Amino acid sequence: MKLGAYTACLHDRPIEQALDLLAELGLTSAEVNTGGFLPAPHVPIDAILSSEDAAKDYLGVFAERGIELTGLNCNGNPLHPDPEVGIAHAEDLRRSIEVASRLGVKRIVTMSGLPAGEASGERVNWVVNPWNTALLESIEYQWEVLVPFWKDIQARAADADVKIAIELHPHNTVFNPATFLRLAEAIDSTHVGVEMDPSHLFWQGMDPVAVVEHLGEWIFHAAAKDIKIYEDSVKINGVLDERFTRIPAEDDPLPVGGRYTVTKWPANPTWEFVALGQGHDNAYWTRFLQALHAVDPDIAVNIEHEDQHFDRVEGLRLAADNLNAAYAAAGI
């Protein structure tokens, strides 16, 4: 098992400095962004695609620090009905497969994508409770869009000998085990599986350990990411909390494709992302690592830091300490 971190939270510094920090924290694995919602400052994509020497030099930066590049991350919405988002993110994913092939990286993390609810739709439409046929028709249309796209990605990944790991993320057509298994069957998957990010499962009411055991060898890659659920707030508003607001343009909200940006969380959320160990204790993370190890002893588990209560380095350090402690306790 390889323990590491996704370097997106360290995009304010060169890749060399980001990897130096990971090595200092006792981590030996790294995952870097290659497009989608976020840019790719840690990967010279054009150089890698045009030069074998550039690819070797890039991998040398990791090897010098005793760190393995275990994954590329291209989370985005390749099925977004706005062409400024969907077309761009789809091309980023296809290009990431080429980059992975050049680098010998065997895992790409992404999302399934979410179309509009109908052919004429201009905005994404996530239906979570299709209690009537109008809503069911939206889901049926989305699968008509989803399956051909992913058949093509499956073929490209197989040709490149690269595994695509879909994050089970809300606001996507594939967001839980049932929707993933439906996709896997529809595309006769061999190279499209799951990235086990427990954070988005927790707030949906799932147990990530049970999901790992349920999906088994479909788990290709994993994230070490925690959430904290605020029970008093959940009692009032539930976990489907939509009290988010716009961030003023003058505050430079993070762009996520086209004209869209991230939004501001509620002041008293029902849940939020926290550093590993701040939402669930190390006994839980020990069981999580043991379950992953049973599926794949060589799986990479990379920290994704999005805890707004800690700065980037402090949050990564806390998560790394807890992840390393859970690994030691797991006896694997």
Question: What is the spatial distance between Cα 29 and Cα 12, in angstroms, rounded to a whole number?
Answer: 19
Cβ neighbors of 231 (< 8 A, separation 6 or more) are none
| DSSP β-bridge partners for residue 301 | 3, 222
Structure confidence at residue 232 (pLDDT)? 95
Structure confidence at residue 295 (pLDDT)? 98
Angle (deg, nearest 10), helices 133-160 and 177-186: 60
User: For residue range 78-109, what is the model confidence (pLDDT) as tens digits?
Assistant: 999 999 999 999 999 999 999 999 999 999 99
Structure confidence at residue 260 (pLDDT)? 96
Structure confidence at residue 134 (pLDDT)? 96
How many other β-carbons are positioned within 10 Å of the β-carbon of residue 249? Answer: 8
Structure confidence at residue 127 (pLDDT)? 96
Query: pTM of the entire structure?
Result: 0.97
* Per-10-residue mean pLDDT, the chain, length 332: 97 97 98 97 98 98 98 98 98 98 98 98 95 98 98 98 98 98 98 98 97 98 98 94 95 95 95 97 98 98 95 96 98 96
Structure confidence at residue 142 (pLDDT)? 98
Structure confidence at residue 49 (pLDDT)? 98
Angle at 8 between CA 204 and CA 215, to 5 degrees: 40
Structure confidence at residue 141 (pLDDT)? 98
Structure confidence at residue 107 (pLDDT)? 98
Structure confidence at residue 247 (pLDDT)? 97
How many other β-carbons are positioned within 10 Å of the β-carbon of residue 279? Answer: 21
Angle at 279 between CA 232 and CA 211, to 5 degrees: 105
Cβ atoms 117, 125 nearer than 8 A = yes
